[in-house]
Amino acid sequence: MNLLLILISCCCLGGTHSGYVQYGFASYYGGEFQGKKTASGERFNKWDFTCAHKTLPFGTRLRVTNLKNHKSVIVRVNDRGPWVKGRIIDLSYAAAKKIGLLKYGVVKVKIEVIK
């Protein structure tokens, strides 16, 4: 019975990651991974607005804001990573371009789970 109540609560409240916010450094990946399988099993396309995150479920949609210029992009988690210490997210080339990340390579960002 308790498990049922927990499951119902999670469904009604938008899941366990609703309201999730994280600050840290973002990087990007592109051409060298084009067409290769991601951890979710889909093929990577550098022109899609996707990202790699270590723990958020595949399919989670995130708003990523570049704290240097305040530009934002909406991405979908479809891969795992980044595996570089201090980084919290790897963006696809297209997503990185949209928020002005290409110029710097790594920038401080805010990520928020959105519905």
Whether residue 107 has pLDDT greater than 50: yes
Q: How high is the pLDDT of residue 110?
A: 98
SS3 content of the chain, % helix, strand, coil (to 5): 15, 35, 45
Q: What is the CA radius of gyration of the chain?
A: 15
Rounded to an integer, the average pLDDT of 39-51 is: 97
d(CA 5, CA 31): 46
pLDDT tier, 31 (very low <50, low <70, confident <90, very high otherwise): confident
CA distance 52 to 81: 5
Give the pLDDT mean for 10-23. 64
Domains of the chain: 19-114 (2.40.40.10)
3-state secondary structure at position 4 = helix
